[in-house]
Amino acid sequence: MSLEQATAFAPASVGNVAIGFDILGFSVDAIGDRVTVRRTASPGVTIKAITGVAADLPLEAARNTAGRALLAMHEALAPGFGIEMSIEKGIPLGSGLGGSAASAVGAVVAANALLDTPLPRLELLKFAMQGEAVASGSMHVDNIAPSLYGGLVLTVGIDHPRVKQIPVPADVRAVIVHPHMFLGTREARAILSKSVPLSDFVWQTANLAGFISGCYTGDLDLLRASFEDVVIEPQRQALIPGFAAVRAAAMAAGALGCSISGAGPTMFAWSRADSAAAVRDAMVAAFAAREIGTDPWVVDIGTRGAFVEAA
Ligand code: HSE
């Protein structure tokens, strides 16, 4: 039975995962956005309120990531009722933790529960992608797909996306360290060179293939060897004060790899469970040495994606 009102939680996510620029990401359910939608008699999509850690966002639906995603869904389905939405932001703006994606995912997952015939997740993904385009100016899926599906997620294709949840070795944890600063995704994309030297292309391709292979086979040595972004990270690291020291500290503490979460400034590392706390503490200390405060988390990677909360 379809509902009058529904609330969905959509987790944060780490995009790129070093070697999969715009195509690979994993969910981080330590934080997330919560979106409530309600059927209304008036037509269209309206945003009633935005609260939480990033309340200063446009209330006009067409200019808001969640609003744009819902507008796309509403226009495609013409459900015969309007939708009013409230967004509770749990993900800081400009953190590199997929906040805009989570709002868009939360909106479409919640709205799906209002429909007489709910859509499969792949259809929701396409609507949520429209929202992401508002925030970053491009249709990338590396935050949308993990926030929606959960876990480590590879997405192949944009017009006809194929989504693959990649198994992560059970002993691996992710360390997430969010420095207290803002970095706009548009800005961090605008600085990227449009061309890649052939040798870097080969290196990065090998790393992505090695990383995915290491995940499927549980080969942590291969994961460690492949965990290096030779294309994007060198161009973006100057945007994050202390980047080199934080990365070096993580690796010295036993990380399998450490890089920028999405467009930054959040940094993440993967490590074995028994060294995750040491990696976290090392990264926090390296930021602190530059008088940069942080919020750190250690998380499992195989978590579920967005879900409708019980009423
Ligand atoms: N893949 C994107 C980027 C994620 O790195 O620009 C940002 O949302």
pLDDT digits (tens, 9 = 90+) for 52-96: 998 788 999 999 999 999 999 999 999 999 999 999 999 999 999
- Nearest CA-CA partner of 143 in 87, 210, 98, 181: 98
Positive or negative, the Cα torsion across 68, 155, 140, 260?
positive
Mean pLDDT of 156-174: 95
| CA angle (117 as vertex; 112, 118 as ends), nearest 5 | 30
Instruction: Give the atom of ligand 1 at the shortest distance from the alpha carbon of 22.
Output: 1
Q: In this structure, which residue's CA is closest to atom 6 in ligand 1?
A: 263
- Nearest CA-CA partner of 66 in 52, 271, 80: 52
Q: What confidence tier does 1 reach under pLDDT thresholds 50, 70, 90?
A: low
100 within ligand 1 shell (Cβ under 6 A): no
pLDDT at position 310: 87
142 within ligand 1 shell (Cβ under 6 A): yes
Largest CA distance in the chain: 59
- The residue whose CB lies within 8 Å of the most ligand 1 atoms, and thus the one to mutate among 21, 93, 192, 204, is 21
Contact present, 28 and 14 (Cβ < 8 Å): yes
Instruction: Give the atom of ligand 1 at the shortest distance from the alpha carbon of 232.
Output: 5
291: left (phi over 0), alpha (psi -120 to 50) or beta: left
Strands, sheet with 172-179, edge to edge from the N-terminal-most edge strand: 257-260, 267-272, 172-179, 294-300
pLDDT at position 133: 79
Q: All domains of the chain, ordered by start, with CATH?
A: 5-165+302-308 (3.30.230.10), 172-299 (3.30.70.890)
Cα 20 to ligand 1 centre (Å): 10
Distance CA 182, CA 96 (A): 9
229 within ligand 1 shell (Cβ under 6 A): no
Residue 116: how many other CB atoms lie within 10 Å: 8
Q: Exposed e or buried b for every residue in 126-142, given b needs 16+ CB within 10 A? A: bbbbbbbbbbbeeebbb
Contact present, 265 and 196 (Cβ < 8 Å): no
Distance CA 35, CA 168 (A): 29
189 within ligand 1 shell (Cβ under 6 A): yes
Residue 187: how many other CB atoms lie within 10 Å: 13
Q: What confidence tier does 132 reach under pLDDT thresholds 50, 70, 90?
A: confident
User: Lowest mean pLDDT: which of 181-185, 202-206, 212-216, 287-291?
Assistant: 181-185
185 within ligand 1 shell (Cβ under 6 A): yes
The strand pair at 82-89 and 45-52 is best described as parallel
Q: Give tens-digit pLDDT for 205-233.
A: 999 999 999 999 999 999 999 999 999 99
Cα 83 to ligand 1 centre (Å): 29
Contact present, 230 and 19 (Cβ < 8 Å): no
Instruction: Give the atom of ligand 1 at the shortest distance from the alpha carbon of 236.
Output: 5
Beta bridge partner(s), residue 103: none
- The residue whose CB lies within 8 Å of the most ligand 1 atoms, and thus the one to mutate among 93, 95, 100, 142, is 142
- Predicted structure pTM score: 0.96
